[in-house]
Amino acid sequence: MMRQFATALCGLMICMTAPVLAQGTSGVVVELYTSQGCSSCPPADAYLAELAQESGVIALALHVDYWDYIGWTDKFANPRYTDRQKGYARVVGSNTIYTPQMIVAGTDRVEGSDPDKVEGDIRRHQMTQSQVGLQLMRVGDVLMIRAIAKATLSGPVVVQLVRYHPSATVTIEHGENAGQTITYTNIVTSWTKLAEWPGKDDFELSVPVVGSDPAVVILQQPGPGLILAASVLK
């Protein structure tokens, strides 16, 4: 199947101008909602760094902005990530969001830093047969996405592109973590909805990807809900 995908790229004449740089690797998505201004977050930040090294895991740190008022503005925070976390809360009928929080595969909510629960959730999703096949290939500054439904899907699927910066070290001067120097891992820099896929015919899309930061494609039920498939291209 990947060979056919590559052949299709050549048919688009892309392969004549740039070499294939990489192909995607699938994994279970773990989203960490965190903040530089939260004193409870450093252990979870450190644990996410460990998860980022695990095969079959796509670890993403989304920095939220609702702790900025206590004296330190998180340099990576984005109100859109706060909105995404609120979306997860609404799905379960909650009015409360907090840090740190981990969401595994779009469905499992983990309060604080609880490696045993997170790892159990990851293994369960890794053992579940996916309803969707997802392939990524990057050629130059173009990312080619192909999704295939292995079974009839219950509804549309949201196709999303995530970019992240692998690592950055910050010295925090004020707020609850004042005086600490913390290295953050897989810092999400953008989260973009590309399309909605009905989940019937095969889905193919090419999008520009500029720069060396990794790219993640996530196929997720609306809500936000269950992540049906995800692949990272580093």
| Contacts made by residues 106-110, CB under 8 angstroms, sequence distance 24+ | 106/29, 106/220, 106/221, 106/223, 106/224, 106/225, 106/226, 106/227, 107/225, 107/226, 107/227
pLDDT above 50 for 16: no
40-72: per-residue pLDDT in tens? Answer: 999 999 999 999 999 999 999 999 999 999 999
155-211: per-residue pLDDT in tens? Answer: 999 999 999 999 999 999 999 999 999 999 999 999 999 999 999 889 999 999 999
pLDDT band at 77 (very low <50, low <70, confident <90, very high): very high
User: Of 106 and 16, which is predicted with more confidence?
Assistant: 106
Give the DSSP letter of residue 155.
S
Angle at 45 between CA 42 and CA 46, to 5 degrees: 90
pTM listed for this prediction: 0.91
User: What gap in Å lies between CA 38 and CA 136, rounded to an integer?
Assistant: 36
130 neighbors 150 (Cβ within 8 angstroms) = yes
87-141: per-residue pLDDT in tens? Answer: 999 999 999 999 999 999 999 999 988 999 999 999 999 999 889 999 999 999 9
Candidates 27, 229, 227, 211; CA nearest to 146 is 229
**Amino acid 20: pLDDT:** 57
User: What gap in Å lies between CA 139 and CA 82, rounded to an integer?
Assistant: 33
User: What gap in Å lies between CA 189 and CA 116, rounded to an integer?
Assistant: 28
Residue type, 34: T
Distance from first CA to last CA of the chain, Å, rounded? 21
